[in-house]
Chains A and B, each alone.
Chain A
Amino acid sequence: MKETKIYERPKSWKKGVHTHYCPGCGHGITHRILCEVIDELGIQEKTIGIAPVGCAAMMYDYIDVDFCEAAHGRAPALATGLKRTRPDQVVFTYQGDGDLASIGTAEIVHVANRGEKITTIFINNAIYGMTGGQMAPTTLVGQRATTCPEGRDPNLAGYPMRMCELLATLKTPAYIARVSVAQPKYIIEAKKAIKKAFEYQISGKGYSFVEVLSNCPTNWGMQPVKAFEWTVSAMMPYYPLGVFKDFDKEAE
Chain B
Amino acid sequence: MARVLMKGTEAIAEAAIQAGCKYFFGYPITPQNEIPEYMSAKLPKIGGAYVQAESEVAAINMVMGGGATGTKIMTSSSSPGISLMSEGLSYIAGCEIPAVIVNVMRAGPGLGGILPAQGDYFQATKGGGNGDYRLLVLAPSTLQEAVDLTQLAFDLAFKYRNPVMILADGFMGQMMEAVEIKEYKGQDYDVVPWALGNMEKRGKRTILKSLYLDPGDLEHHNIKLNEKYKKMQEEEVRYEEFYADDADVLIAAFGTTARIAKSAIVNLRKEGKKVGMVRPITLFPFPYDVIKERASKAKHVLVMEMNMGQMLEDVKLAVGERTPVSFFGHAGGISHSVKEIEEKIREIL
Which A residues form the contact surface with B (CB < 8 A)?
44-46, 48, 50-51, 57-58, 60, 64-71, 74, 76-86, 88-89, 106-107, 109-110, 114
Interface residues on B, range: 35 or more
Question: Does B205 sit at the interface, judged by CB under 8 A?
Answer: yes
- Please measure, in the bound complex, the distance between the C-alpha atom of A74 and the C-alpha atom of B85, giving whole angstroms: 12
Question: Does B37 sit at the interface, judged by CB under 8 A?
Answer: no
Query: Which B residues lie within 8 Å of A65 (CB)?
Result: 199, 205
Query: Which B residues lie within 8 Å of A68 (CB)?
Result: 64-65, 68, 95, 196, 207-209
A70 and B61 in contact, given A48-B197, A85-B73 (Cβ under 8 angstroms): yes
A84 and B51 in contact, given A46-B199, A71-B87, A78-B64 (Cβ under 8 angstroms): yes
Question: Does B154 sit at the interface, judged by CB under 8 A?
Answer: no
Interface contact A77-B205, CB-CB below 8 Å? no
Interface SS of chain A: helix
Query: Which B residues lie within 8 Å of A67 (CB)?
Result: 196, 205-209
Which of B11-19, B52-60, B118-126, B284-292 contacts the other chain?
A: B52-60
Q: Within B147-201, which residues are at the interface with A (CB < 8 Å)?
A: 196-200
- CB nearest to A82 among chain B residues: B65
- Please measure, in the bound complex, the distance between the C-alpha atom of A74 and the C-alpha atom of B64, giving whole angstroms: 10
Query: Which B residues lie within 8 Å of A51 (CB)?
Result: 209
Interface contact A85-B66, CB-CB below 8 Å? yes
Picked from A46, A81, A88, the residue with its CB within 8 Å of the CB of B61 is A81
Question: Does B88 sit at the interface, judged by CB under 8 A?
Answer: yes
- Please measure, in the bound complex, the distance between the C-alpha atom of A76 and the C-alpha atom of B213, giving whole angstroms: 24
Picked from B61, B196, B199, the residue with its CB within 8 Å of the CB of A77 is B61
Query: Which A residues lie within 8 Å of B54 (CB)?
Result: 106-107, 109-110
Interface contact A114-B51, CB-CB below 8 Å? yes
Question: What is the distance, in angstroms, from A28's C-beta to the closest C-beta of chain B?
Answer: 19
Per-position binary interface string of chain B over residues 66-99, scored 1 when its CB falls under 8 Å from any chain A CB and 0 otherwise: 1111010100000000000001100100010000
Query: Which A residues lie within 8 Å of B198 (CB)?
Result: 66
Per-position binary interface string of chain B over residues 34-61, scored 1 when its CB falls under 8 Å from any chain A CB and 0 otherwise: 0000000000000001010111011101
Question: What is the distance, in angstroms, from B206's C-beta to the closest C-beta of chain A?
Answer: 6
Query: Which A residues lie within 8 Å of B67 (CB)?
Result: 81
- CB nearest to A79 among chain B residues: B65
- CB nearest to B72 among chain A residues: A85
